[in-house]
């Protein structure tokens, strides 16, 4: 469709370079996703990473799994790559001499956990060992450079992967800036984070890619304060990729931040 996001066009528009795939801790050839909805596995509790819990596959998006910890509520789903070291086949924990833990916020009395676990695993469809893929090695060093484009998980909306730019590099960390969102979703992460991907990853793995927002980022000194600073404007939060009307002319810093509105090119 005419509105579909195209990296090729976008890179031209922003005269930016994609970060080379070798800089990421991601498989060069994405593995196949052999999981199925309903399968159970072991997962580290995202809210309490030292404990290993039972999780169920709630959905599949590309090579990511939408997971829910058994005994937890439905508002704490999380997403993991099928080659993540945070997930493992059922039985791994016991083999290592550890015990499966109730999730943080277990919805029943703690004393009912052993019976709950027994019932949960009884007759469950366990994800086969072959569905778990080895985590790729971490690149030897942080070679990201400011201005490089990539695809990154929006941590505030972790089902989304969005176009982003490296804003800063400091030691083994990188600052991820989401294109067109005025910094509201930006974060620092390690260069070997499993939440960042090379340009083209989503299309390769058949994951949806959110188009850039349409808010233009300005240098701090030139920023116009929104009328209600605590609430981002509706436009900045719900943005179709193409605006129906042209944006007001703003001094856009070409290259690193944001995108130039089509109408001005």
Q: Is residue 187 within the footprint of ligand MLZ (CB under 6 A)?
A: no
69, 82, 87, 162: residue in contact with ligand MLZ (rule CB under 6 A): 162
Residue with tokens 């793995």: 205
Least distance to ligand MLZ from the beta carbon of 149, Å? 14
Q: Which is nearer to ligand MLZ, 155 or 253 (CB)?
A: 155
| Cβ neighbourhood burial of 137 (10 Å; 0-12, 13-18, 19+) | exposed
* Contact partners, residue 139, CB within 8 Å, separation at least 6: 22, 23, 24, 25, 191, 192
Which helix H or strand E contains 237, and what residues bound it?
A: helix 234-237
Listed ranges 68-76, 108-116, 157-165, 222-230: which one lies at the site for ligand MLZ (CB under 6 A): 157-165
Distance (Å, rounded) from C-alpha 177 to C-alpha 154? 10
Q: Is residue 202 within the footprint of ligand MLZ (CB under 6 A)?
A: no
45, 83, 154, 192: residue in contact with ligand MLZ (rule CB under 6 A): 154
178, 187, 197, 201: residue in contact with ligand MLZ (rule CB under 6 A): 178
CA-closest candidate to residue 154, choices 75, 77, 210, 76: 210
Q: Report DSSP state, residue 133.
A: -
Q: Helix, strand or coil for residue 240?
A: coil
Listed ranges 17-25, 178-186, 188-196, 245-253: which one lies at the site for ligand MLZ (CB under 6 A): 178-186
Least distance to ligand MLZ from the beta carbon of 114, Å? 40
**Residues making contact with ligand MLZ (CB under 6 A):** 154, 157, 160, 162, 178, 181, 185, 210, 237-238
């Amino acid at each position: 469709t005419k509105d579909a996001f195209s990296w090729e066009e976008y890179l031209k528009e922003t005269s930016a370079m994609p970060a080379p795939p070798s800089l990421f801790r991601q498989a060069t050839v994405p593995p196949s996703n052999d999981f199925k909805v309903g399968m159970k596995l072991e997962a580290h509790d995202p809210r309490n990473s030292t404990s290993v819990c039972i999780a169920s596959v709630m959905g599949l998006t590309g090579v990511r799994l939408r997971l829910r910890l058994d005994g937890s509520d439905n508002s704490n789903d999380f997403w993991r790559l099928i080659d993540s070291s945070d997930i493992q086949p059922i039985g791994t924990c016991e083999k290592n001499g550890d015990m499966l833990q109730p999730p943080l916020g277990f919805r029943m009395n703690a004393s009912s956990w052993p019976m709950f676990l027994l019932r949960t695993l009884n007759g469950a469809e366990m994800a086969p060992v072959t569905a778990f893929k080895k985590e790729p090695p971490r690149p030897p060093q942080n070679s990201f450079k400011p201005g490089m484009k990539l695809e990154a998980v929006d941590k505030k909306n972790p089902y989304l992967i969005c176009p982003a730019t490296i804003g800063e590099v400091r030691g083994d960390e990188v600052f991820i800036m989401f294109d067109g969102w005025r910094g509201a979703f930006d974060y620092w992460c390690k260069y070997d984070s499993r939440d960042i991907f090379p340009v083209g990853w989503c299309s390769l793995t058949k994951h949806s890619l959110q188009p850039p927002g349409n808010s233009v980022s300005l240098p701090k000194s030139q920023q116009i304060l929104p009328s209600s600073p605590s609430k981002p404007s509706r436009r900045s939060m719900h943005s179709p990729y193409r605006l129906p009307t042209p944006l007001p002319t703003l001094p856009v810093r070409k290259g690193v931040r944001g995108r130039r509105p089509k109408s001005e090119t």
